[in-house]
Amino acid sequence: MTSLELGCASLCRAQNPPVIGTVSPRQMQVFVELPKPWPTPLVIPGLERFVFNAGQKGIVASCIAFMPARGKTDLENPRLIIGQQQEAGLNPFYWRHYRVPRAKVASFVQGLLDSSVDSQEWQIKVPLGREIFICAHAAHDRCCGVLGPQLVAQALADTDLDNVAIHECSHLGGHRFAPTLIEIPSMSCYGFVDAKSLRAICLREGSYQELVTKHYRGFMGLSAKLQYAEARMFHNMGWSWLDNRRGSAIIDGNVIRLVTPEKEFEFTLQAGPGVLSKQSCRDDSAKIQPTYIISD
């Protein structure tokens, strides 16, 4: 038996746990173009201070390194993709794209947080469209380091996906669900992704109900319990939900209310059986993953 067969993703897949509700929520996300190999923990000089300062302002933020989707790029002036959720709940992240001299990346991002820089100085225009980031952070987890690049290679060989920007990226969380990915601008996260489900995500085709049931981990702008209710909306309303997700999310005991501009939806959440699983290939200890049962 190979080491990968004993890895966290293979062991977790054998348990077949629900993947929904497993995304760590945040309100600000910074993607930085940075060549591999990436160390673990990921250190982008100066940006760890930015994450701390954002937290002091009540903003949960993280930084993810990524490789350019196709071809070469100017890594001395890396591309930055920065998204922030302006309002809590179901509301979207707003995205800006920049090219910034590498030596100024940290001060620029900090300046955006403090509103102390001219954000238009290095802002660039990019075609409107979705981008896919697949974890391939080998130093952080061997399952991600093997399964992620394999999935990216399959995607690049699929000519139907030529117009979709697909990147290898650093740690996304949830190694045990490898391959994992995040899609922007929707900030939707997926796990146990294969070639079929990746095509569905990229092209918005096929059974979205099956995708939600087997692969959808949740919307990064919500807490774990609220992710269950948001996933039910995706399951019921289809692909258009991801582009039109708006409104507030309220939890009161075991009752969740999602209030959209059109209608209010109410769900009941009950605790389900926890799943004891190995969290990553770097940690042999097992932890209980909470699960929930949701009803309309």
For 231-282, list the strands marked E by DSSP.
248-252, 255-259, 264-271, 275-280
Going by DSSP bridges, is the β-strand pair 93-99/283-289 parallel, antiparallel, or unpaired? unpaired
Neighbour order of strands in the sheet with 165-169 = 93-99, 79-85, 28-33, 61-66, 165-169, 131-135, 181-184, 188-190, 216-219
Q: State residue 36's pLDDT score.
A: 87
Tens of pLDDT along 35-84?
888 887 777 778 888 999 999 999 999 999 999 887 677 889 999 999 99
Q: Rounded to whole angstroms, how far apart are CA atoms 251 and 274?
A: 21
How far is Cα 252 from Cα 116, in angstroms, rounded to an integer? 39
- Residues 148-189 have pLDDT tens digits of 999 999 999 999 998 889 999 999 988 889 999 999 999 999
In this prediction the pTM is 0.94
Nearest to 27 by CA among 244, 222, 245, 242: 222
pLDDT confidence tier of residue 275, bands split at 50, 70 and 90? confident
Phi-psi map region of 89: left, alpha, beta (phi>0 left; psi -120 to 50 alpha): left
- The tally of CA atoms less than 13 A away on the side-chain side of residue 6 is 6
| Assigned fold of 1-222 | Glutaredoxin (3.40.30)
Distance (Å, whole) CA 248 – CA 267:
14
Cα–Cα distance measured from residue 172 to residue 80, given in angstroms and rounded to the nearest whole number: 17
